[in-house]
Structure 1
């Protein structure tokens, strides 16, 4: 798969097809103006666009789990980041793109890109909430290109939290880490390290996240919930 001279539409088509076996999707496109501080390409030029890559619901869990189970060290200390790079970097090389990842410097504004590309807003948990997928989605990387690209992904129509008066996510937090104003990561981690946290959120997923009714059909499978909560508790 090599498409450096392909049309913009062909690039999108090729990347989308390459991601599909790994349970990853094109989540949105940001095209930059010449006045913006766009990320750098490998040759030092400013990118003209980035396309965001991520999961929808538990779409990546089976491919990632198969990959991890086949390794003696189960992917090391940060297996999901390692897997994401193993999937995305070859696609970037084949498309003459530059790959960026949320876990690596130079840090890129992934949340800002997602808000711009998909029209999303932050939930009380700090996670961007999607009107269809709710809190059950994520961004695993981005590809930067030297040309503008067509829009990808699905743009949101409104912010679900603006229409939610009950705020069940706040009421469900057993560690009092969540308020209208902020999410206190320190309180959350402290709760997870205690007996109640280990028996509750750590074993079955964040109770606040589970309480949100938006996108409940996209809820992560149990193994993925435990995986993310274990990483948060470190």
Structure 2
């Protein structure tokens, strides 16, 4: 089993390899190769919303779909599935994302990925017992050569060079002026040039915003 084989198994489900790293016990798991999975764009949202978990009327369709698909992929690859939901305790997915060498802290604090930008949605991970060959990560974050429009994109200054002001963000979303963020996605995430090239359906972003602003 190698990364190309895992990617081939994941692609029909519109999942892609976010990144991978050689895990040790210091990563909060058994040693092996941790492979993180995220949406394959474009097309992920149209695919997943036609799946049984989105048609049965029960809550948490995206998480239930992720559990079913990634558990099946883990069985086929001889690995163990891990998920960023279902806790507490929660697996340290932010740390794992940075360990891949393909995601970095952005100027506003949230992670930025080499191809997804700030539109990160890690659906789960598979821990394989073997130490797989991994491609070298990019040398630098995309932020190093960016004009960093994310720093000034938030209309209420909740996200910027200072720590994230969560109450100010929610208060803005409660007002009519916040409708664009609530239905189209966080303006800071959307300002990222890498995010703009990713091709994520705005309906998926609105779905995540609804869960964030409950």
Which runs of 5 or more residues in structure 2 are unaligned?
A: none
Which runs of structure 2 are paired with 1:169-188 in the superposition (5 Å)?
169-188=150-169
Cα deviation for residue 203 of structure 1 reads 2.0
Larger Rg: 1
Do the aligned partners of 2:27 and 2:96 also contact (CA within 8 Å) in 1? no
| Preserved contact between residue 14 and residue 41 of structure 2 (Cα < 8 Å) | no
C-alpha change, 1:138 and 1:187, in structure 2 (3 Å) is same
CA-based RMSD: 2.4
CA contact (8 A) 2:181 2:187 kept: yes
Q: Distance in 2 between matches of 1:125 and 1:83?
A: 31
**1:172-202 Cα deviation digits (max 9, x unpaired):** 212321120222222212211222112x211
1:83, 1:69 → 2: CA distance? Answer: 6
Task: Give 1:32-43 correspondences, 5 Å limit.
Answer: 32-33=23-24, 36-40=25-29
Q: Could you list the runs of 5+ residues in structure 1 that have no partner in the other structure?
A: 1-7, 41-45
- CA distances 1:72-118 after superposition (whole Å, capped 9, x unpaired): 30xx3322111111110111123231110011334222222221213
Rounded to whole Å, the distance in 2 between the matches of 1:124 and 1:219 is 22
Pick the aligned partner of 1:151 from 134, 139, 155. 134
User: 2:13, 2:192 → 1: CA distance?
Assistant: 27
Distance across 2 between alignment mates of 1:86 and 1:186: 35
Following TM superposition, where does structure 1 have runs of at least 4 consecutive aligned residues deviating by more than 3 angstroms? 56-59, 124-127, 162-165
Aligned residue pairs total 213
Q: Distance in 2 between matches of 1:32 and 1:70?
A: 33
The answer to whether the 8 A contact 1:89-1:99 is kept is yes
Tell me the TM-score normalized by structure 1: 0.79
Q: What is the TM-score normalised by the length of structure 2? A: 0.86
